[in-house]
Structure 1
Amino acid sequence: MSEDYFIPGAAAQSEFTEKKSRFISHLWPVASEEEARARIEEMRKTYYDARHNCWCYLLREGGVLRYSDDGEPQGTAGQPMLNVFQRRAISNVCCVVTRYFGGVLLGAGGLTRAYTRGASDVLAVAGRSRVCLWERAALCLPYGLFEQVRLLCDASGGIIEHTDYGADVTLDLLLPQGGRMALQDKLIELSAGTLTLEAVGEEYRGGPREELT
């Protein structure tokens, strides 16, 4: 069985200025090198007039990691950015930090701190999502119990992925591993045993966005 891991919670952007140099950070969850390369190329075209578009990406499958200083002194940009995601155990991530030079040299230490901040700031905006095993389930229920069931699902950490309104309400649910049995117990109590979750399958997927701690 695969282990849980973290990916960015969302695509994100952040910006700051350091000694007149403008640093613009972008971050995305990515699933392949092709997707990461496409994002990097997109930023190169968007910020074609910038002095540097430094980047890194890290993929869980195959342990792939790549980075570039894009003309900054060696070791002052791409590697420090990558270090941010490695320390936070974030996988399947691509980050580009664009620098518009402001005329003041930052020195190697200043550049390292600036690019580290660029990656850290944009990751804080993105948050993280835990990729783990989820259980799929289906549930048919009367309209009168819908709101109570919705609250029970929320309390169980579940997600209502689809709702079909017919003679009764049919829900397609995603529940964290072990959540189906826990929710079933609550449904039995709520309905005097008339509501039964139907197991549909399992899949690995990202959960709700979490703030970094």
Structure 2
Amino acid sequence: MPLTLAAPVQSELIIKKSRFIGCVQPMADRAGAQKVVAELWAQHPGARHVCWALLAGGQSAAVDDGEPSGTAGRPMLEVLRHQDLEGVLATVVRYFGGVKLGAGGLVRAYTDAVAQALLQAEKVPIVRLQTLACVVPYALEGLLRRELEAAGATLLAVEHAEAVRLNFSLPEDDAPRLLSRLNETGQGRLQWVEDVAQP
């Protein structure tokens, strides 16, 4: 099961007078990642590089930001992949200390900065939610609410009209079991709504 991070975590390494400030944090997409990188440049105007890697499905990216090609972004991305993470941004701000590290030294430095931050990070499973909607007679509203609560579903919206429409979400893996149970207890009086947009 893929994991993401509960909160941002930072680490700092000094290697041959160069300072590497690593950070890992939950991140859904490339636009959010680019915003964080812009903020890091604002916070660290004296830095030489802000390299980053994003592991987020089709939004993934690896950026060397002026370091020799393949020595920063790609190795950082591999650290995230190796830990089965998803929806995670790794950034490393580098202040150059005057001593060149060489390609192997750079790969190690960027990899270590991310790995050190990940050692302190709390990893949490990614739970994919499914949103459903149904319409029931008023007489079944209480029963349906109890079933949803028992299943750990989150009630998103309720609309009272000729009947009662309830929109709710729950973990994808639990949905088939709840649907089966609701169909059974509703005895044919429960209607599923195809379009689950909020009423």
Is this a same-fold pair by TM over 0.5? yes
Q: What is the TM-score of this pair, normalised by structure 1? A: 0.59
Cα distance in 2 for residues equivalent to 1:76 and 1:67: 10
Q: Contact between 1:24 and 1:98, CA under 8 Å: does it hold in 2?
A: yes
Matched, 1:136 2:151: no
Q: What pairs with 1:50-199 in structure 2 (closer than 5 Å)?
A: 50=47, 52-58=49-55, 60-61=57-58, 65-68=61-64, 71=67, 76-90=71-85, 93-99=88-94, 108=105, 111-118=109-116, 120-121=118-119, 124-125=121-122, 127-129=124-126, 134=130, 136-140=132-136, 141-143=140-142, 146-152=145-151, 154=152, 159-164=153-158, 166=160, 170-175=165-170, 179-187=174-182, 191=185, 193=187, 196=190, 198-199=192-193
Identity among equivalent positions (%) equals 23
Cα distance in 2 for residues equivalent to 1:99 and 1:130: 34
Amino acid in structure 2 at the alignment position of 1:94: L
Q: 5+ residue gaps in structure 1?
A: 204-213
Computing the radius of gyration from Cα coordinates, the structure with the larger value is 2
Aligned with 1:25 (options 23, 33, 37): 23
Amino acid in structure 1 at the alignment position of 2:192: E
Q: 5+ residue gaps in structure 2?
A: none
Pairs aligned (count): 187
Amino acid in structure 1 at the alignment position of 2:82: R
Cα distance in 1 for residues equivalent to 2:155 and 2:52: 35
Cα distance in 2 for residues equivalent to 1:163 and 1:171: 6
C-alpha distance after superposition, 1:46-90 (max 9, x if no partner): 2324454221234533x853221655x765532321102232454
Cα distance in 2 for residues equivalent to 1:182 and 1:64: 34
Cα distance in 2 for residues equivalent to 1:129 and 1:91: 8
Q: What is the TM-score of this pair, normalised by structure 2? A: 0.62
Amino acid in structure 2 at the alignment position of 1:25: C
Cα distance in 1 for residues equivalent to 2:60 and 2:115: 23
C-alpha distance after superposition, 1:83-120 (max 9, x if no partner): 02232454554321235679999882751452231463
